[in-house]
Amino acid sequence: MTHKVFIDGEAGTTGLEVQGRLLAHPDITLIQLDASQRKDTDARRQAMAAADAVILCLPDASAVAAAQMAAEVNVPVIDASTAHRVAADWVYGFPELTAKQRGAIQSSRQIANVGCYASAMIAMLRPLREAGLLGADADVGFSAISGYSGGGKDLIAYMQAGEKPRNFAYALNLAHKHLPEVLAHGDLAKPPIFTPMVGDFYAGMLVIMPLHLRVFRKNITINDIHNALAEHYADSPFIRTHAPNDAPAMHARGFLGVDDLIGTNYMDLHLFHPEGNTGDIGVLLARLDNLGKGASGSAVQNLNLILGIDETTALI
């Protein structure tokens, strides 16, 4: 059975990535508007009414209005903006969040697609919270680097015009827009300290969580953390947990590449600690494509779920 899907905002960065995946999807036919109709309310409404599902790739304010339009024509909607990620009447579009999340997505008509940085932070936090290893009020921090495509059209234009600086930290007010969803869906009582950076490359993402084991709820080891992650993601087709100090995953020089998963919907979780013992420190890292598992890949994964299609279709 072929399903009809309309991408509202297909000309944007995420929209184009979703479009590319769906054009290769064997069970999807895209409803597409001419460029002159993309901002025409009536044309968009008609496209939504004809669709089996709608994906919104719009700025927040526009996404709120488009979501209301989708509700009026009674079509399931996946919103890739930040507008609904902590809304009580929307289901969070991170299928691996809990054992029940896939079912919640499948039965919902309003899915808030996960944010790129947030997907990595939550992927590390939630299993530790579910396993009782980390308290909700623990002092947690993350650093990260992403390709500049994560900043959308404005940042892409800045980088491609050759502006400087080419590599930079930002959100230094410690109020990044992804923190509300990390707080809510990472099951924390207070937001983590988060220091993101942009690198002079188009796509790819690495998010790092320092591990001071003294902040955990009980005396645990790096192996306990690994076991909690491995158990949580045992049935996931996309999130892969590597053994502590997994040398085969690394470059011969000891490098861990930021761009190794570009074009895929995978997220790899890595644990590292001082050689010879598990000690009381370590680092937990998540690698992904910020445009894949962090955006358009997740949107297609959620789409597959709500349409009753195999979760991995057009993603592996």
Q: Any idea what the Cα angle at residue 84 is, between residues 154 and 6, rounded to 5°?
A: 70
Q: Which two tokens stand for residue 294?
A: 């962090």
Residues in CB range of 19: below 8 A, 6 or more apart: 7, 10, 30
* DSSP letters spanning 253-299: TS---SSTTTTS--EEEEEE--TTS--SEEEEEEEE-TTIIIIIHHH
116 assigned to active site: yes
CB 111 within 8 A of CB 91: yes
How far, in Å, CA of 102 to CA of 305, rounded? Answer: 7
Q: Could you list the beta-strand ranges (E) of 184-229.
A: 193-199, 205-212
Question: In angstroms, how far is CA 210 from the centroid of its own chain?
Answer: 20
Catalytic residue among 116, 124, 134, 203: 116
Burial of 219 (0-12, 13-18, 19+ CB in 10 A): exposed
What number of other Cβ atoms are within 10 A of residue 15's Cβ? 21
As beta bridge partners, residue 3 has 28
Question: In angstroms, how far is CA 61 from the centroid of its own chain?
Answer: 20
Give the residue numbers marked as catalytic.
116
